[in-house]
Copies of this chain bind each other. A is one copy, B any other.
Amino acid sequence: MSSKSKIIVEISEIPKLKNPHLICGLPGSGYVGKIAVDYLIEELKGIKFANIFSSSFPPQVSIRDDGTIDLMKNTLYYCKNKPDDIILLTGDAQPVTPESEYAMAEEIIGICEKLGVKSIYTLAAFITGTFSKNPKVYGTSTSLQIVNEFSKQGIFTMNTGTVTGMNGLVIGVGKTRGITGVCLLGETSGYVVDAKASKAILEILSKILELKLDMTTLIKRAQDTDQLIKTVEEQMGQRQSTEQLPMPSQDKKLGYIS
């Protein structure tokens, strides 16, 4: 029996969607993207329609809140919305090898093609190593026209670097199949789980896609992040001034941009 990587997609329902956009937020630095997509699932009342399992996810099972365990998986949700329907993708993990990340990106794009997805938004972190009062949102896209409109939308452009992992590959592979891709990266220190960066991204994304979001709970979580940052800064102040806080390690599996 071969042990090459296997991807299994369990689909419970094939939704009929109007001009759907895919929004991806997988676990990564500061959980910026995952927090944002989890929030969208809650607020837009996302309906789960597919699980994706892969033997290239970390070889482990997750313990859930209720004490039970399950294999690592990614999950797809759809939301009936106006003007366009929304598909949401999040999950427990990203694949652990380069080849399997490409294979997973192709699998996801295959699903997008079947559902008629015309554009993809991946939500990620832009790591700075310092705490920011008002985190900026950076962007890159497969379309020069979209990049040119970023400044009007309050999005900062980049002209060098890479977007690593699934947030980059989903857009890169999508481009080869004619699907427009946008990556929005919320500025974050990299030291803490950062709901402030998630909030900054969602404020911009909700304008672009005309999403009606009640931001109350996320504002609360962003305040928690502020409190957490304050605590970390106080602890840093108590250290000797010669000591440097180490740069947050940009773990390959978690770091979106290097």
Contacts and interface: CB of A to CB of B under 8 A. Distances in A.
Given A60-B165, A99-B5, A159 B69 contact: no
Interface centre among A66, A68, A107, A173 (most CB of B within 10 A): A68
Given A56-B98, A59-B102, A69-B141, A4 B3 contact: yes
Interface residues of A, number: 64
Nearest to A146: B68
B3 A58 contact: no
Contact of A102 (B6, B63, B64): B6
Contacts of A1: 6-7, 103, 106-107
Contacts of A81: none
Interface in A1-26: 1-7
A34 B71 CA distance: 23
A157 interface: yes
Given A147-B67, A176-B71, A59 B169 contact: yes
Contacts of A58: 98, 162, 164
A122 to B, nearest CB: 10
A60 B173 CA distance: 10
A163 interface: yes
Contact of A165 (B59, B69, B72, B171): B59
20 contacts: A1-B103, A2-B6, A3-B4, A3-B100, A4-B4, A4-B99, A5-B99, A6-B102, A58-B98, A59-B98, A59-B168, A62-B161, A63-B140, A66-B147, A67-B158, A68-B142, A68-B143, A69-B142, A69-B181, A71-B175
